[in-house]
C-alpha cells in the first residue's frame, strides 16, 4: 500500500541545533549561501541514509531526520518538499552510484573476456550494495510501495540495469541477430534475481561470502545467456549473421 507523506512545518525538538540568523546572500563563516545550502542538503541526505537504511522509511519522521542532521526543520523544507522527496533524492543518488560503478568495472575489464566482464560488473554491484547494507536497503527495499512516483522511478532504474545485461548478452552472441523483446524479458528476469539476492543477504536469511555470491551469480548470468541464445537459434527466434569475407 502506498503511504502518504504530509508536509507539516516543524517546531524545535530535542537534538536540534539552534540556527543563527540567516545572513541572506552574504558569505557566512567563510561559506557562500550556495555552499551552506549544499552542506545542509548533504547532511539531510546522510541522515536519510542512516535512518531509512537502518530503521526504515515508514519508521522515520521528519523531526528524526532533522535531529540526526542537526539542522532545524526550516531548512529541511528549504531542500525537500517532503520525507518522500528526500527518499527519492537519496534513491537516485545511490542508484546512479551503483550503475556508474557497474558500468565502470565492465568497461575496465578485458573487452574480449566476457566472463571477466560479467564478474567485474557483479563484483562492483554486490560490493557497492553489501559493503554498506544501508545502501542496499535504500535501493532494494525502502523504495517499494511508497508512492506511484517512487515506483515509476524504480522501474526506470531496473530497466537501466537490464540494458547493461542486454549489452553483455549481445556481446556473447556477437554473430547472432537476437530477438530484442525476448532478450529484454531475460535481462529483466536476471536483474530481478540479483535484487532478491541482495534482499536475502541484508535480511539475514542467507549470507554467503560476498565473493562466492559474485562468482555464482556471474556464472548463472553467463549460463542463462548462453542457454537462451542456443534456444533462440534452435527455434528460429534468433538468426546467425553472415559476415562478409575480407
Residue 43 belongs to a domain with what CATH number? 1.10.10
Residue 205 pairs in a beta bridge with: none
Same domain, 38 and 152: no
Which burial class, exposed, middle or buried, applies to 36 when counting CB atoms under 10 A from its CB (0-12, 13-18, 19+)?
Answer: middle
Residue 177 pairs in a beta bridge with: 239
Would 64 be classed as within a structural domain? Answer: yes
Same domain, 194 and 95: yes
Same domain, 100 and 216: yes
Same domain, 142 and 228: yes
Same domain, 190 and 107: yes
Same domain, 163 and 121: yes
* Cell numbers representing residue 115 in the block: 566472463
Would 8 be classed as within a structural domain? Answer: no
Same domain, 47 and 126: no
Spatial separation of the C-alpha atoms in residues 42 and 58, rounded to whole Å = 21
Would 26 be classed as within a structural domain? Answer: no
Would 46 be classed as within a structural domain? Answer: yes
Q: Is the dihedral of CA 42, 139, 155, 4 positive or negative?
A: negative
Question: Angle between the 62-69 and 33-52 helix axes, to the nearest 10 degrees?
Answer: 120
Domain stops at, among 14, 46, 79: 79
The domain that holds 119 is classified in CATH as: 1.10.357.10
Same domain, 116 and 214: yes
pLDDT in tens, the chain (246 residues): 444 344 433 333 334 434 444 545 565 566 677 888 899 999 999 999 999 999 999 999 999 999 999 999 999 999 999 999 999 999 999 999 999 999 999 999 998 898 999 999 999 999 999 999 999 999 999 999 999 999 999 999 999 999 999 988 888 777 778 888 888 999 999 999 999 999 999 998 888 999 999 999 999 999 998 898 888 888 888 787 665 454
Would 13 be classed as within a structural domain? Answer: no
Spatial separation of the C-alpha atoms in residues 137 and 57, rounded to whole Å = 10
Domain stops at, among 24, 59, 79: 79
Determine the pLDDT at residue 178. Answer: 81
Determine the pLDDT at residue 24. Answer: 52
Determine the pLDDT at residue 150. Answer: 95
Same domain, 121 and 186: yes
Would 23 be classed as within a structural domain? Answer: no
Spatial separation of the C-alpha atoms in residues 86 and 78, rounded to whole Å = 12
Q: Residue 226: which domain range?
A: 83-240
Spatial separation of the C-alpha atoms in residues 31 and 48, rounded to whole Å = 24
Same domain, 177 and 66: no
Would 12 be classed as within a structural domain? Answer: no
Same domain, 62 and 106: no
Same domain, 157 and 98: yes
3-state secondary structure 72-90: CHHHHHHHCCCHHHHHHHH
- The count of domains in the chain is 2
Would 24 be classed as within a structural domain? Answer: no
3-class secondary structure, 173: coil
Measured CA to CA in angstroms, residue 211 lies from 106, 120, 216 at distances of 17, 11, 9
Determine the pLDDT at residue 29. Answer: 60
Amino acid at each position: 500500500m502506498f503511504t502518504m507523506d504530509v508536509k507539516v512545518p516543524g517546531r524545535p525538538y530535542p537534538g536540534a541545533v539552534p540556527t543563527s540568523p540567516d545572513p541572506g546572500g552574504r558569505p557566512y563563516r567563510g561559506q557562500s549561501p550556495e555552499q551552506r545550502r549544499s552542506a545542509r542538503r548533504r547532511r539531510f541526505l546522510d541522515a536519510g541514509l542512516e535512518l531509512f537504511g537502518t530503521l526504515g522509511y515508514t519508521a522515520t519522521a521528519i523531526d528524526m531526520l532533522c535531529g540526526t542532521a542537526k539542522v532545524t526543520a526550516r531548512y529541511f523544507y528549504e531542500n525537500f518538499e517532503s520525507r518522500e522527496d528526500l527518499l527519492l533524492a537519496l534513491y537516485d543518488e545511490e542508484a546512479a552510484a551503483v550503475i556508474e560503478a557497474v558500468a565502470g568495472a565492465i568497461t575496465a575489464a578485458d573487452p574480449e573476456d566476457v566472463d571477466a566482464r560479467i564478474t567485474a560488473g557483479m563484483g562492483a554491484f554486490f560490493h557497492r550494495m553489501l559493503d554498506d547494507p544501508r545502501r542496499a536497503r535504500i535501493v532494494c527495499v525502502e523504495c517499494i510501495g511508497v508512492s506511484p512516483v517512487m515506483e515509476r522511478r524504480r522501474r526506470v532504474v531496473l530497466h537501466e540495469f537490464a540494458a547493461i545485461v542486454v549489452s553483455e548478452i549481445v556481446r556473447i552472441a556477437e554473430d547472432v541477430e537476437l530477438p530484442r523483446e525476448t532478450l529484454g524479458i531475460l535481462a529483466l528476469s536476471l536483474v530481478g534475481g540479483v535484487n532478491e539476492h541482495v534482499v536475502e543477504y541484508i535480511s539475514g536469511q542467507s549470507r554467503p561470502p560476498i565473493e562466492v555470491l559474485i562468482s555464482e551469480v556471474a556464472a548463472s548470468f553467463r549460463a542463462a545467456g548462453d542457454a537462451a541464445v542456443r534456444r533462440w537459434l534452435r527455434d528460429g527466434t534468433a538468426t546467425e549473421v553472415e559476415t562478409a569475407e575480407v
